[in-house]
Structure 1
């Protein structure tokens, strides 16, 4: 379940395009919640017309970095696919429900999404450690 405190972060991320750019993330955000936010980035980009190839690359990058982070910190992400899919639905819905905002911020969201496709692990690690 997506915690209510993440709703603003998911909306912000969906409009910024990057799960790792969301401001004021609670330091106690779980890895599962990061997976949901990454999925929301993907869903928002899908709603804004990103290609299937880019959506797949983004998912692969998110999985690799979040799984690596979990392993390095003695944790596991047991349901990556289900959590990512949940985030995709939420991100897509947020963009579609706020079409007027998305049309203004659409290019920023796609730029942030493209950044996350090839984001380096250290940047993700720094965001998760904040």
Structure 2
């Protein structure tokens, strides 16, 4: 099942250069959904040729940033890996099913992925902090 918010994250990445740009276009994104969306961007980028070291760096950066955010906001992040993996599968599926929409913008998506693999925590905090 492809979640609409994952679709929004992938399309935001392809259009605006970061999955975290979805924050400006979506309301009520739960912390767990953010983790799934980060995984989805990872999976989508891998379909377009992102290599394993980059995919691993993206995952590590996401884990560090989400863990820090959880610690600072008294949230629990016990299930990062399963949520991220769910997102990877969703992202791969989305790209394969929506190729007509996403393939023409795959260069933008990959640039966004490379941006997000080293994204500064302050940008993540801003995206995840409501209102």
- TM-score normalised according to structure 1 size: 0.89
CA distances 1:46-105 after superposition (whole Å, capped 9, x unpaired):
111100000000000000001100100001111100000000001111111112222211
Match of 2:8 in 1: 9
Label 1:7 to 1:116 Cα distance change in 2 as closer, same or farther (>3 A): closer
**1:14, 1:40 within 8 Å by CA — same for their partners in 2?**
no
Match of 1:24 in 2: 25
**2:13, 2:21 within 8 Å by CA — same for their partners in 1?**
no
Q: CA deviation at 1:8?
A: 4.1
CA distance in 1, matches of 2:63, 2:45: 17
Could you tell me which runs of 5 or more consecutive residues in structure 1 were left unpaired when the two chains were aligned. none
Q: Secondary structure at the match of 2:34?
A: helix
Q: CA deviation at 1:24?
A: 1.3
Tell me the C-alpha RMSD between the 2 structures: 1.9
**1:15, 1:95 within 8 Å by CA — same for their partners in 2?**
no
Q: CA deviation at 1:14?
A: 5.6
Could you tell me which runs of 5 or more consecutive residues in structure 2 were left unpaired when the two chains were aligned. none
Runs of 4+ in 1 over 6 A off after TM superposition: none
Q: Secondary structure at the match of 2:53?
A: helix
CA distance in 2, matches of 1:94, 1:66: 23
- TM-score normalised according to structure 2 size: 0.88
Match of 1:81 in 2: 81
Count of residues in Structure 1 that have an aligned counterpart in Structure 2:
128
**2:39, 2:85 within 8 Å by CA — same for their partners in 1?**
yes
